[in-house]
Amino acid sequence: ITFKTNVIRMRSDSITTLQSLSIATTGSPPPLLLPYVSVIAPQYVGPSATFAVETSPVVGSGGRNVKFAWNVTSSNTATVSPALSSFVASQNGSVLSVSTSSLGLITDSAYTFHVTVTNFLKVNSTYTSNPIVILDQDTP
């Protein structure tokens, strides 16, 4: 910022004379905090299992709370039941507890969970789980 020599208008509208040219140098603003998480999920689950999809602790939150918004996709879009889609969309925490049988997950299909994390600056990032395959029999 460069001020004009000899004249500056103050709040009181009085005129003040500057003795010399004044220059103030400013830097670029700091980069926005980008929220970052890892999504942790099992690779395979049985048809009657309950499994967790969760995030690691958030980096880039500025020490404040963040918002989580989840959704799910499948290797075959017909296999995302309305119950599963609705359940996942209603969740706003860092952990999903998913029941394969009550939410209509279909065997031999792979499901991928996505979470969008939004920080206090309203900056967001979306992260994805590995595909979770629903086996046709329960695993030990």
- pLDDT class for 136, splitting at 50, 70, 90? confident
Q: Which amino acid is at 78?
A: A
**Six token digits for residue 52:** 């967790």
- Indicate whether this model's pTM tops 0.85: no
- The four Cα atoms 24, 28, 29, 31 give a dihedral, to 10 degrees, of -160
Give, as one character, the DSSP assignment of residue 14.
Answer: -
* pLDDT tens for each residue of 80-108: 999 999 999 999 999 999 999 899 898 88
118 with 29: CB under 8 angstroms?
Answer: no
